[in-house]
Amino acid sequence: MPAICGIPARDPQGVDREYQSRFDPTSVTTHRHFPVDATVLAGMNKENVVCFDAELIARYRGRGPRYTSYPTALQFDGGFGLDDYRRHAQLSNAAQKPLSVYVHIPFCQALCYYCGCNKIVTRNTARVQNYLHALHREIEMQAELFDTGRTVEQLHFGGGTPTYLDETQLRALMQALHQNFCFDEGETRQFSIEVDPRTVDRSGLALLAELGFNRLSLGVQDFDPQVQQAVNRIQSAEQVRALQRHAQEFGFRSVSFDLIYGLPHQSVASFDRTLDEVVDMRPNRLAIYNYAHLPARFKGQRMIRDEDIPEPKVKLDILHHTIDKLTEAGYVYIGMDHFALPDDELVIAQQNHSLQRNFQGYSTHGNCELIGLGVSAIGSIGGSYVQNSVSTIEYEEQIALDNIPVKRGLVLDDDDKLRAWVIQKLMCYDALSFDQVEREFAIGFRDYFERELALLQPLADDGLVTVDAAAIHITPRGRLLLRSIAMVFDRYLQSSQGDQRFSRAI
């Protein structure tokens, strides 16, 4: 299981007395390597400073987008078709930006009960072969749209479970990509794959390294046996520790772990034991996702008993403790749910202003245009977003007709581009300079965003942001509530603050 899957849109709860006073959610705590006076914090912005204010979090934890794109995928519409995509691919060739390629492998061997991804749990090899046959054909058709001189600097295999594929299938897929696209062979290329630790051993990692992958994202979630039993995902800490060791042996440049809080039977104490293991293994990056229990929407979640899910207060305690523990262990809080070691590329990209948010979350290589390959994959090309069919049957039918299976999309207008830029800056750098926006987009910031600045005032009154004549700064108190701040600039949201299709901000 992958980085982003399993978390999509939900939320939930256990109280551990030992931690109850220490992690009192009504308290305001700062997270640094040393105590910092709150008044000093107000004037600071970046650095590894997060302020956990449970009262504010409870007040602002309405539902909202994760802004992996702006406008969000909810705005994509079926009026955008294959001809539109072809036109935007041509526009994109004129700009000659490098490429990022996402490949979606939807298959899984077993169902994790918490999962909200678009996946197919199957052992049917014919079904997998049919899909791969279509995917190979899509690679050829997509590659024809793009100039051969455009190099692929970034590649990501996601799912589902990309490591569901066997050696022959993975080799053939990489070969097809190499035959049809021009891969960057330099040191800075970023080729990553989501790994289910249950599906890969030492030789599996050796294969991935040989195929050119240099980054791994491991679905860890929680090491507690009772939690694992309740979500039907049994994998030992030793399994993951061995993979981490082998990843170093084979020269992977970065290993990322995904964890989930809010799973059944979790408590601060139980999750603390998982964090002990994780911190000891020292992955380069960590993503801590929030599980929301929505059994009416996701059938698999009906296997999880409501009464086993931690209370909201406990969930906040777990998050609070996690932030404490990871920052004390030297991890830098990037934003949203991401942490990284100080020498990780994400931290460096944040410092040198080349960080971006894309459909994989926070990422480097913000200069690339994105091609999405496979069922439900999303691309971002020439000022447009495009998504493939989400049904495997429809996807394969369209490919059989020699059509790239474009299902829907969106052409960004000038206002979309401006707001996307503003939201990116806020989510990646916790700050927005009016002067910079005015230079980029030839607008008067205060006039253009008069309404938004008024909407921001209550957030400023609550200490989430400061707004002066030149800039908006997100304070340490606001860093955990980035979504709520970004939502002010989302013109599509209007009254959909409680939209059930979005996950909670925390």
Cβ distance to ligand SF4 smaller for residue 31 or 293: 293
The SS3 of residue 232 is coil
Asked if residue 130 lies in contact with residue 124, where contact means CB atoms within 8 angstroms, the answer is no
DSSP letter assigned to residue 300: G
For 393, residues 6+ apart whose C-beta sits below 8 A from its C-beta are: none
Scanning 96-104, 111-119, 356-364, 467-475 for contacts with ligand SF4 by CB under 6 A, the matching segment is 111-119
For 305, residues 6+ apart whose C-beta sits below 8 A from its C-beta are: 230, 264
Cβ distance to ligand SF4 smaller for residue 56 or 240: 240
Gap between the Cα atoms of 192 and 50, Å rounded: 29
Does 119 bind ligand SF4 (CB under 6 A)? Our answer is: yes
Give the x/- contact pattern for ligand SF4 in 140-179, rule: CB under 6 A: -------------------xxx------------------
DSSP codes, 111-141: --TT--S--EE---HHHHHHHHHHHHHHHHH
Asked if residue 445 lies in contact with residue 456, where contact means CB atoms within 8 angstroms, the answer is no
Gap between the Cα atoms of 277 and 275, Å rounded: 5
Closest by CA to 336, choosing from 217, 484, 215, is 484
Cβ distance to ligand SF4 smaller for residue 108 or 493: 108
Cβ distance to ligand SF4 smaller for residue 176 or 263: 263
Does 112 bind ligand SF4 (CB under 6 A)? Our answer is: yes
Scanning 29-37, 109-117, 433-441, 476-484 for contacts with ligand SF4 by CB under 6 A, the matching segment is 109-117
For ligand SF4, the binding residues in 179-238 under the rule CB under 6 A are 196, 219
Q: State the minimum distance, in angstroms, from the CB of residue 231 to ligand SF4.
A: 9
Q: How many residues of this chain bind ligand SF4 (CB under 6 A)?
A: 15
The residue within the footprint of ligand SF4, chosen from 41, 105, 115, 326 (CB under 6 A), is 115
Asked if residue 377 lies in contact with residue 104, where contact means CB atoms within 8 angstroms, the answer is yes
In one letter, which amino acid is 134?
A: A
Does 1 bind ligand SF4 (CB under 6 A)? Our answer is: yes
Tokens of 311: 């209370």
- Percent helix, strand, coil in the chain, to 5, is 40, 20, 40
Does 370 bind ligand SF4 (CB under 6 A)? Our answer is: no
Does 134 bind ligand SF4 (CB under 6 A)? Our answer is: no
Q: State the minimum distance, in angstroms, from the CB of residue 174 to ligand SF4.
A: 21
Scanning 106-114, 137-145, 303-311, 332-340 for contacts with ligand SF4 by CB under 6 A, the matching segment is 106-114
Q: State the minimum distance, in angstroms, from the CB of residue 121 to ligand SF4.
A: 6
Does 6 bind ligand SF4 (CB under 6 A)? Our answer is: yes
Gap between the Cα atoms of 27 and 8, Å rounded: 29
Cβ distance to ligand SF4 smaller for residue 89 or 115: 115
